[in-house]
């Protein structure tokens, strides 16, 4: 199916590179060609190891950014105090308006607006490069895609202890020489095609990836002091640029691969090489091995899990990486009228009025001297990101006992609710459970498209790991709350849990576990709702609902629309 069928064997010739040397190499490449590589995504908690990495970057004189920086700090703006003092216009320069290296701390908390803004700045200004410090602790956190797609290099330094690392120092004179060599190294057609093919084989959709890999290969060649790209340069590029972007293992078909395209009609002799791409190629194999050995730990397992959850087309990692929009924090004030609950931002209002005092005074000579002349237009209103951003977490029972027809109706109800949540600008998340596991099939999102995709691909049948599902849902709710959202849990189940938390098919233990979790949900005051989908409601589920403090609604015969109406009413619209 793919050119990489033969690489799955256990004997991989390339030994894994020395991991810490790899860290040093990535920093060197970034220093050699910041304009081509655009930056580094550095994953790791703040600590001495990360400090070692950052210390090495010091010669590049990075400027610091944080996720909640005001717009005028980024793009520049009026420096009011200096302007008033000097009586001529004084601007302060925005961080994004100068070439150089920026470091973004707490990059995992970077709101989508800022990440896109930074992405645009990187595109517009080739002299800018970004080091994103991602301190993600949880699966599902991470760098927003607008950035991860643009930054060539990725390093995960959480695995390194203090003793596993050494001090790093950039050899700036050598780097300067390498920089001078950069433009003289041609990107050969072979290298270009090979890296594009490897990226394709790893199911990396974005076309930025192969380009960034080429830039990394060139920077590596320049660093080595040679004038043309070699196998070694490509290997490094694959390890540092392509490996962490992999969306599928090379030996499996990419998730939304269409059948092999028909041969292109024109017969360009230069493209004759590509005809062979159905055959395994030795250099490609080596590169794929390099990707294998550089895959971040746990990626293989994650890909397998993602594959199971993936319904049809689309790259499943996208939603999981996305940051929440809501945070319940103050955002820049806006012009407005006081009253109707709005609070005046006094400082912003004064800042707005200050430059106009001389003009206004000349228009109103009778005004009392020394008094501030305010106009209604000056008034600025405080704004906060809505802290009551809701997230509805649907917990859908897809087990055998919730018969197939019920599952279809539950899906229908969730879809209607999704459409309503979409119009109300709510977030939705989806937890599904069947067989032995419960999983967060969709992290909180506003994307109707994604939610529908996940839901449509949900299979039915198997045992009922209700307790596990409650645990996943509880975690999702707590995470959402930590991000300033108000979670609500909606269970659609018949309540006949028969798999305990430890995965054993022990009905009694399963019931106990479910009750424990129900109490945990109640203790954290997470509003919840249970839709009993069983044909003959059992006391079991009403007891569980009571322990959870949930509203229980028995809907033995309700169709999707009735179910959605009830849900909507119970959730207060």
Partner 1 sequence: MTPFPFAAIVGQDEMKTAMVLTAIDPKIGGVLVFGDRGTGKSTAVRALAALLPPIQSVAGCPCNSATPDDCPDWAQVTDTALVERPTPVVDLPLGVSEDRVTGALDIERALTRGEKAFEAGLLARANRGYLYIDEVNLLEDHIVDLLLDVAQSGENVVEREGLSIRHPARFVLVGSGNPEEGELRPQLLDRFGLSVEVTSPKEIDTRIEVIRRRDAYENDHAAFMAQWQPEDAALRDRILTARAALPDLKTSNVVLHDVASVCLALGSDGLRGELTLLRAARALAAYEGAPDVTRDHIRRAAPMALRHRLRRDPLDDAGSTARVARQLAEVLP
Provide the 3-class DSSP secondary structure of residue 556.
coil
Query: 289: closest CA among 254, 245, 251?
Result: 251
Nearer to partner 1, 310 or 552 (CB): 310
To the nearest 10°, the Cα dihedral for 69, 75, 77, 79? Answer: 60
Number of residues that bind partner 1 (CB under 8 A): 75
CA separation (Å) from 339 to 158, 303, 336, 342, 377?
50, 53, 9, 5, 15
Which of the ranges 288-296, 318-326, 512-520, 546-554 carries the binding residues for partner 1, by CB under 8 A? 318-326
Minimum gap (Å) between residue 257 Cβ and partner 1: 7
Nearer to partner 1, 191 or 438 (CB): 191
Minimum gap (Å) between residue 187 Cβ and partner 1: 5
Q: 141, 149, 285, 532: which one contacts partner 1 (CB under 8 A)?
A: 149
Nearer to partner 1, 455 or 529 (CB): 455
Please list every residue from 483 through 512 that binds partner 1, using CB under 8 A: none
Per-residue interface string for the shown chain with partner 1, residues 231-270, x marking contact by CB under 8 A: -------------------------xxx--x--x------
| Contact present, 269 and 399 (Cβ < 8 Å) | no
Q: 418, 473, 531, 570: which one contacts partner 1 (CB under 8 A)?
A: 418
Element at 390 (helix H, strand E): strand 390-397
Per-residue interface string for the shown chain with partner 1, residues 358-397, x marking contact by CB under 8 A: xxx-xx-----------x-x--------------------
Which of the ranges 19-27, 417-425, 491-499, 520-528 carries the binding residues for partner 1, by CB under 8 A? 417-425
306 interacts with partner 1 by CB under 8 A: no
Please list every residue from 69 through 88 that binds partner 1, using CB under 8 A: 71, 74-75, 78, 83-84, 87-88
Query: 142: closest CA among 159, 156, 122?
Result: 156
Nearer to partner 1, 50 or 322 (CB): 322
Nearer to partner 1, 450 or 545 (CB): 450
CA separation (Å) from 7 to 13, 14, 251, 289, 290?
10, 12, 7, 7, 11
Nearer to partner 1, 96 or 170 (CB): 96
Residue located via tokens 């990107």: 187
Per-residue interface string for the shown chain with partner 1, residues 436-465, x marking contact by CB under 8 A: ----------xxxxx-x---x---------
Distance of CA 93 to the CA centre of its chain: 30
Which token pair is 571? 């959730």
Please list every residue from 533 through 572 that binds partner 1, using CB under 8 A: 560
C-alpha to C-alpha distance for 466 and 397, rounded to whole angstroms:
8
Q: How many residues does the chain have?
A: 573
| Contact present, 278 and 420 (Cβ < 8 Å) | no
Residues 6+ apart with CB under 8 A from 287: 194, 195, 198, 234, 235, 238
Minimum gap (Å) between residue 212 Cβ and partner 1: 10
C-alpha to C-alpha distance for 128 and 164, rounded to whole angstroms:
31
Q: 226, 419, 540, 547: which one contacts partner 1 (CB under 8 A)?
A: 419
Q: 193, 231, 232, 252: which one contacts partner 1 (CB under 8 A)?
A: 193
Please list every residue from 98 through 137 that binds partner 1, using CB under 8 A: 112-114, 116-117, 120, 123
């Amino acid at each position: 199916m793919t050119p990489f069928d033969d690489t799955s064997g256990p004997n991989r010739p390339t030994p894994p590179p020395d991991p810490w040397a790899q860290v040093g190499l990535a920093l060197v490449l970034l220093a050699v060609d910041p304009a081509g590589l655009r930056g580094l995504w550095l994953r790791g908690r703040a600590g001495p190891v990360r400090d070692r990495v950052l210390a090495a970057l010091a010669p590049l004189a990075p400027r610091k950014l944080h996720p909640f920086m005001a717009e005028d700090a980024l793009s520049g703006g009026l420096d009011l105090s200096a302007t008033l003092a000097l009586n001529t216009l004084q601007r302060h320069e925005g961080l994004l308006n100068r070439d150089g290296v920026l470091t973004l701390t707490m990059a995992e908390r970077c709101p989508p607006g800022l990440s896109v803004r930074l992405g645009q700045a990187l595109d517009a200004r080739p002299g800018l490069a970004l080091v994103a410090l991602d301190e993600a602790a949880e699966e599902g956190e991470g760098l927003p895609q607008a950035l991860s797609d643009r930054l060539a290099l990725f390093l995960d330094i959480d695995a390194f202890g203090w003793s596993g690392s050494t001090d790093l120092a950039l050899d700036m004179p050598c780097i300067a020489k390498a920089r001078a060599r950069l433009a003289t190294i041609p990107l050969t057609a072979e290298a270009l095609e090979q890296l594009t093919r490897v990226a394709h084989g790893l199911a990396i959709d974005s076309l930025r990836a192969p380009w960034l890999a080429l830039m990394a290969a060139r920077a590596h060649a320049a660093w080595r002091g040679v004038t043309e790209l070699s196998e070694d340069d490509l290997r490094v590029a694959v390890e540092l640029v392509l490996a962490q972007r992999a969306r599928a293992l090379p030996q499996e078909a990419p998730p939304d691969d269409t059948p092999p395209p028909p041969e292109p009609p024109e017969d360009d002799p230069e493209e004759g090489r590509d005809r062979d791409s159905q055959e395994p190629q030795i250099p490609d194999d080596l590169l794929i091995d390099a990707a294998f050995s550089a895959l971040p730990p746990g990626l293989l397992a994650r890909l397998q899990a993602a594959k199971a959850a993936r319904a049809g087309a689309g790259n499943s990692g996208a939603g999981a990486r996305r940051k929440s929009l809501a945070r319940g924090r103050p955002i820049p004030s806006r012009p407005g009228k006081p009253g109707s609950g709005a609070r005046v931002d006094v400082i912003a209002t004064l800042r707005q009025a200050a430059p106009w005092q001389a003009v206004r005074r000349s228009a109103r000579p009778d005004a009392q001297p020394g008094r501030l002349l305010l106009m209604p237009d000056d008034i600025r209103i405080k704004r906060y990101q809505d802290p009551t951003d809701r997230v509805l977490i649907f917990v859908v029972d897809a087990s055998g006992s919730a018969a197939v027809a019920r599952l279809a109706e539950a899906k229908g109800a969730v879809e209607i609710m999704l459409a309503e949540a979409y119009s109300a600008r709510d977030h939705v998340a989806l937890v599904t459970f069947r067989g032995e596991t419960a999983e967060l099939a969709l992290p909180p999102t506003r994307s109707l498209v994604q939610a529908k995709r996940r839901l449509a691909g949900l299979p039915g049948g198997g045992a009922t790991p209700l307790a596990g599902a409650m645990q996943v849902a509880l975690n999702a709710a707590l995470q959402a709350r930590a991000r300033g959202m108000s979670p609500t849990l909606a269970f659609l189940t018949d309540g006949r849990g028969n798999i305990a938390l430890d995965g054993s098919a022990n009905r009694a233990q399963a019931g106990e576990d479910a009750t424990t979790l129900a109490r945990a949900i109640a203790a954290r005051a997470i509003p919840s709702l249970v839709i009993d989908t069983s044909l003959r409601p059992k006391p079991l589920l009403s007891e569980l609902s009571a322990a959870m403090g949930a509203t229980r609604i028995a809907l033995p015969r309700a169709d999707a629309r009735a179910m959605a109406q009830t849900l909507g009413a119970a959730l207060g619209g």
